[in-house]
Amino acid sequence: MNFASPAPDFWTPELAEDSESELSSDTCVIKGQAFFVHGLIEIPVTDADDVFSWGVWVSLSQDNFTRALRLWDTPGRQDEPPYFGWLSTSLPLYAPTTIDLKTRLHTRPVGERPFIELEPTDHPLAVEQRTGITRARVQQIAELLLHPEQRP
């Protein structure tokens, strides 16, 4: 039960040819100036013992990105304090936009994607992360993602 974005919204195919840009499944650098990590916004499913996840990208400062990379394969990295970041994935089912929502990126044990905690605002995505969603909402999300022409 998840949806993942393959790249931050700011990535374009032309950047693949740029020597200062790189996109992997975990990290992204754009023109040596913008730094991103791929993580998960997890939303509890209240009427099931499960979690729905949005695989999204968060921008980090260069210092935090460098530190996160230095510790990427280090056991115990989950004890690192969270890194402040800006959500860099537009999730089309939410208004207003999800771009630039404030986040905290929490590293987890080696091999696990980081957890992304949204600032507790009244944005619908932040509310869903705090309060959870139902299986019916998960089905609605899946239908809207698979059939975008049905979006309001």
Higher pLDDT, 147 or 75: 75
pLDDT per position as a tens digit, 69-108: 999 999 999 999 999 999 999 998 999 999 999 999 999 9
Are 133 and 126 contacting, i.e. CB atoms less than 8 angstroms apart?
no
> What distance in Å separates the CA atoms of residue 16 and residue 22, rounded to the nearest whole number?
7
Q: How many residues does the chain have?
A: 152
Q: What per-residue confidence (pLDDT) applies to 92?
A: 85
The mean pLDDT value for 20-37 works out to 98
Q: Which of 57, 130, 62 is nearest to 98 (CA)?
A: 57
Residue 148 has pLDDT above 90, yes or no: no
Q: What does pTM read for this prediction?
A: 0.94
What is the per-residue pLDDT for 6? 96
Cα 74 to its chain centre, rounded Å, is: 21
Closest CA to 2 of 149, 141, 136, 120: 141
Specify the pLDDT at position 147: 82
